[in-house]
Structure 1
Amino acid sequence: MLTKTPMLIAGFAALAMAAGFTPALAQAEGTVNIYSYRQPFLIEPLLDAFTEKTGIETEVLFLDKGLEDRIAAEGENSPADVILTVDIGRLVNVKEKGVTQSVDNETVNANIPAEFRDPEGNWFGLTTRGRVVYASKERVDQDTITYEELADPKWKGKICMRSGQHMYNIALFASMIAHHGEEKAEEWMQGLKANLARKPNGNDRGQAQAIYAGECDLGIGNTYYVGKMITNDKEPEQKEWAKAIKVLFPNTEGRGSHVNISGMALAKHAPNRDNAIALMEYLSSAEAQAIYAEQNFEYPVLPSAETAELVKSFGDIKPDSLPLAEIAAHRKAASEMVDRVGLDEGPES
């Protein structure tokens, strides 16, 4: 059966699949069933607050992959009401897989700026994370930068990054295509490749570690990982990595920094639609966004929602105003460009 909040169990998906999870699990009438790519502990405070405020119960199924295919396979009898996920690519994917339905809700639309929602109402952003530059406090004097500058030869051998095919980088590269066109974006990517200190590898935190170790001066990473490193008591060495870097928000003086989102969607055959919409209204509220963003070291999409003090310490973010749906349309071209340029092969290839 699905796990009731707050008894959320990560990794339940595998057990459920093995046991032959069926729509018969559809639990207490009116309970909102959430299929989530987000770790249960990250959303539990939100769901507890929602239940306390409305009396509506929630149940969560956490999956680390295959969420869209799971809902599609369950078809009309799927118990899924609300989908929670991260990354514009995944949000677009659930729409393209045909497992969402359009929502035209006055409250949700008023709370979520247009650039952070699907024009057809199939998904909505809740929080943002900037795709920024980690810079060595010790070796980098400047406090401003642009994405375009990452191709400047002055940074030759000084930039670290994770795989260009990772969804976070694909979204960034798609934004470069959206702003500059494919030809200029490819020239830029070739310059970025020439400036790499090493073959792309690791995760975002690994780029901060490399800066700390002196392997490079700049890294590309998401803002929320800085918060995760600063507060990591289990692996205190990560606090040292965070101390070694400063966050530079690219293009602040121009179009703004590329941001990605966590978001929500209404499942196509939601059996508890009214309560699901009530949850979506709550998740879009200033109260919920403040809780969600603080828990994840992210920024609320609602301008009036409170940003956590730790997140404020990263610096002021000016999000790129280009609609994410427009950026997402260039993901395939961005992925093909990474392969064509040989970005993941490293600087010497």
Structure 2
Amino acid sequence: MTRPYSRLLTAGVAALATALPAAPVLAQELNLYSSRHYDTDERLYSDFEEQYGITVNRIEGNADELIARMEAEGENSPADVFLTVDTVRLARAADLGLLQSIESEVLEARIPAYLQDDDNQWFAFSQRARILFYDKARIENPPQTYQDLANPEYAGEVCIRSSTNVYTQNITAALIAHLGRDAVADWAEGVVANFARSPQGGDTDQLRGIASGECGVAMSNTYYYARALRTGDEQMSPEQLENIGWVFPNQNDIGAHMNISGGGVAAHAPNRENAILFLEYLTSESAQEYFSAGNDEYPGVPGVGLAPSVASLGIFRPDTIALSDIADNIDAAIEVLNEAGWE
């Protein structure tokens, strides 16, 4: 049985007492391959450099490009840490032998087991709930579960991302793990039948589809909406944002699906100890608070406070399925989406 997110946040307060290690004498650099493209992450890196005296050399790019680069570099790769924003790419990197298993009492104590790879090759450091949004004026009975998106009453109302998007693949893989392949195949066909338009754009585009009246219902990660509440959106007026309601799905059973941002130590890391130290640093209370305050995400470490923009979305029950179970069903998810004609 999963627990409300508020309880997950308070359950791990004791873990925060686990002190990060004092800065050891190490080579003074860290080579970070990252597909996170958030300006607010600058604070994460500068604080680490200031605290440990280790220079962070960043290579930033598309996750798939970074994976291809590490694969091509082989044993000569300078990468120490691979950081990205979804389970699919982390699992792919591990399957390609680009990451290594590590032992860290700090990571084990701070990161819940379901947010860790079975072989400790990668860990989640922040989370985003993938939930349902709807037009308050248009949808009288908003869907309460992911399965509801396939109900005929939402014909011509659903806006969602393409089948090639990792978020779509993740939620489908999670549903397969919970419900089985056959049930999810039927669900995918039902969702396709309810499309308001061909899948297109990013998560913010799904929210803008509601604002413009093109869609009645959409799926998006919470941090896109929380960010719009905090900073505004050039294509959505305050009144349009106010008209968008949200539902944390499946609160009576599996809970709301959680996407993650995470990372692991590269297989041939030349600065391995620095790499482990950096991952441990990402679990510190200050870094975890910045994931929430700087990018409107949910912390990966229980017990860390939420930014007001995130807290305003309310308390909910998350899906605490092991990320490894999602990774194991990605191939099946892609097959199901293709068979359903989900573009």
With normalisation by structure 2, the TM-score equals: 0.87
Mean Cα displacement is larger for which, 143-152 or 62-71? 143-152
Equivalence for 1:70: 69
Distance 1:234 1:205 in 2: 9
Aligned residue number for residue 165 of structure 2 = 166
Say yes or no: does 1:183 pair with 2:169: no
Aligned residue pair count: 317
1:52 aligned residue = 50
Query: Deviation string for 1:318-344 (max 9, x for gaps)?
Result: 221110110121111111111111122
| Aligned-pair CA distance for 1:40 | 5.6
Q: Of the two structures, which has the highest relative contact order with CA contacts closer than 8 Å and spacing of 6 or more?
A: 2
1:254 — aligned with what? 253
Query: Which residue does the alignment assign to 1:223?
Result: 222
Match of 2:276 in 1: 277
- After superposition, the C-alpha distances for 1:32-54 in whole angstroms (9 at most, x for unaligned) are 11111111624211111122222
Give the counterpart letter for 1:66 in structure 2.
Answer: E
- Corresponding residue for residue 3 of structure 2: none
Deviation at 1:301, TM superposition (A): 1.4
Look up the SS of the partner of 1:237 in the other structure: coil
CA, structure 1 residues 253+286, in 2 after alignment: closer, same or farther (shift >3 Å)?
Answer: farther
Pairwise CA RMSD: 1.9
Structure 1 vs Structure 2: percent identity of aligned residues? 38
For 1:39, which of 37, 40, 45 is the aligned residue?
Answer: 37
Cα shift at 1:144: 6.7
**1:186-234 C-alpha deviation (Å, 9 max, x unpaired):** 1111121222222222221112112112222110111111133334557
Residue of structure 1 equivalent to 2:111? 112
The answer to whether the Cα contact below 8 Å between 2:229 and 2:309 also exists between their aligned partners in 1 is no
TM-score normalised according to structure 1 size: 0.86
Structure 1 unaligned residues grouped into runs of 5+: 1-27, 345-349
**Alignment partners' CA distance in 1, 2:70 and 2:189:** 39
* In 1, Cα distance between equivalents of 2:264 and 2:176: 26
Query: CA–CA distance in 1 between the matches of 2:38 and 2:188?
Result: 36
Deviation of residue 178 (structure 1)?
0.7
8 Å CA contact 2:111, 2:125 repeated in 1: yes
Cα offsets for 1:268-319 (capped at 9, x unmatched): 1111111221111110222211112322211011111111110111222322
Residue of structure 2 in register with 1:317 after alignment: 316
Give the match's secondary structure for 2:54: coil
Matched, 1:306 2:300: no
| Paired residues of 2:34 and 2:83 also in contact (CA < 8 A) | yes
Against the structure 1 CA distance between its residues 265 and 214, is the aligned structure 2 distance closer, same or farther, given a 3 Å change threshold?
Answer: same
Q: What's the secondary structure of 2:185's corresponding residue?
A: helix
